[in-house]
Amino acid sequence: GDPGLHHLILDVTQNGVTDHYQLLLGVRRDLPDRLLHVEIGGTSGDPGLREGPDVPEAHLYDAAHDPDLTRILLDDLAAEASVGPLRFRHTAGAGIRTDLTSLPITAEQSNTSLLFGDAYICKLFRRLSTGVNLDLEVNLALTRGDCTHVPAVLGWIELEPGRGARAGGNGEPVTLALLSDYLHTGADGWSLAIASVRDWFAHTPPAGDDEWAELDASAAGGDFAAEAERLGAATAEVHRALADAFGVTTLPAAEVHAMAARMNAELTGTCRAVPGLAPHAKALTGAFLDLAAQAGPLPVQRVHGDYHLGQVLRTESGWTLLDFEGEPARTQHERRALAHPLRDVAGMLRSFEYAARYLIAKSGTVPPEPGGRLETRAHAWAARNRAAFCRGYAAAGGADPAAHSVLIRAFEFEKAIYEVRYEAQNRPAWLPVPLTSLAHLAT
């Protein structure tokens, strides 16, 4: 029809590696002004895209921006339709509305998300992973287990088994999209934390150098510690729900020892790539050696895998966890690997370090202060909120980080090494953030 909607899977080869991306392609004979910014091209260059020699040229564009076409997704999800190799599924009892208009979220992210009114959010996975996407697998299991700290899964779109070879299929359906409840009253944890840091930086502390050494970050009006403690409790509850849904197994002592060796090898490689990490290498190696020396059987389970303040929402009813896909730079095998829950805790502790220093790294955001006082403020804020998060996590039944200091320290340093390499490759201006925090943690 006009407009027409086509579903494409594109093979993209770079440096000998082929990845698979999905694209919703719209076709219109006349392209309205509201879609000009997402035009891709025209059909004149490819006769295969035209229905016949007498059909006029049409415009091709990114259909994720066209609510006239994205409404088809809701129609097919509600009907559990099959269209060629595409299968539309919904959870039992989900009554999906089909009268909603979509709006793409413009924030930078690795997928394309569509808001349907104020009711649903549909995540379209850009780069397709092998088989069932982790975000669907985990969220669906938690939804079925009545976990209140994740958005309820309403439906999903998949490529049928046997048709997914080009998309990395392994006999399982390949997940294309995930439809969930949209928490329209939610505020993301990163924004809330940054607001707290900004308020703290604006606070005038007592005069004198001695007072600066023992700053109390609770003195500012926008103290985040109570929310950090609640977030710790919610994290422990989700970890317990993940254990109930997927089970817990034991990692033998030999594999824990090998894990410590891998951490140290990653440190060695990153020091070569980023010389600024080298001054901290001795302390980091010591943490990994401590883990190896104490290596014993370790309980492991499904975890979030890429846990930070940008992956949580504060809603009217509490904290909600999002995006269980794992770290984007990790392989699919690494993302699916079981881990000790304290790996997620370490990720959130690193996020507090980032939030504390974000405004410093973002040039011109806050006025400079003499003698490194902004860094002193940042360290005080991070320390207060790290302690509150760990307190909430332990009180809600999670493994007490204080009682597992060797393990949590190794996990946090492993995450910091990942951050250093990532920032050096992608955001060099942010590299001082993980390096500065290590100056405190590696002592």
* pLDDT at residue number 164: 47
Q: Along the chain (443 residues), what's the average pLDDT of each consecutive run of 10 residues?
A: 93 92 95 96 66 72 97 96 96 92 84 94 92 92 94 95 57 93 90 94 69 68 94 98 97 95 96 95 96 92 95 94 83 86 98 94 69 84 96 97 96 96 92 90 77
124 and 256 assigned to the same domain: no
Residues 113 and 218 in one domain: no
Angle at Cα 314 formed by Cα 397 and Cα 201, nearest 5°? 100
Q: Which of 160, 181, 202 is the last residue of a domain?
A: 181
**Residue where one domain finishes, among candidates 149, 181, 213:** 181
- What is the predicted pLDDT for the residue at 54? 57
> Nearest 5°: phi and psi at 244?
-65, -40
> Within this chain, do residues 9 and 37 fall inside the same structural domain, yes or no?
yes
Nearest to 109 by CA among 120, 119, 123, 128: 123
Same-domain check for residues 290 and 157: no
Q: Identify whether residues 194 and 219 lie together within a single domain.
A: yes
Of 165, 181, 197, which residue is a domain's last? 181
- Could you tell me if 210 and 62 lie in one domain? no
Angstrom distance (rounded) from CA 213 to CA 205: 11
Q: With 0-12 CB in 10 A as exposed, 13-18 as middle and 19+ as buried, what is 227?
A: buried
Composition of the chain by helix, strand, coil, percent to 5: 50, 20, 30
Where in the sequence is the domain holding 39, given as residue range(s)? Answer: 4-181
Residue 388, token pair as written in the block: 């509150």
In a shared domain, residues 268 and 294:
yes
Indicate the residue type of 294: Q
| Shared domain check, 289 and 231 | yes
pTM of the model: 0.86
- Greatest Cα pair distance, the chain, in angstroms, is 83
CATH number at residue 402: 3.90.1200.10
Beta-carbon contacts of 58 under 8 Å, excluding residues fewer than 6 positions away, are 2, 27, 28, 29, 42, 43, 49, 50
Asked if 360 and 317 count as a contact pair (C-beta separation under 8 A), the reply is no
Residue type, position 423, single letter: E
Cis amide bond preceding 53, omega within 30: no
416 in the same domain as 358: yes
**202 and 103 together in one domain:** no
Buried (b) or exposed (e) across 267-297, using 16+ Cβ within 10 A?
Answer: beebbeebeebeebbeebbebbebbbeebee
Separation of alpha carbons 393 and 399, rounded Å:
8
Best CA proximity match to 378, nearest among 413, 347, 353: 353
DSSP state of 169: -
The residues, any chain, with a CB within 8 Å of residue 101's CB and separated by 6 or more, are 67, 71, 116, 117
Report how far apart, in Å, the C-alpha atoms of 20 and of each of 63, 129, 133, 167, 328 are.
18, 8, 14, 5, 15
Under 8 Å between Cβ of 128 and 12: no
How many domains in the chain? 2
Specify the pLDDT at position 107: 72
Same domain? 49 vs 191 = no
Q: Are residues 298 and 278 in the same domain?
A: yes
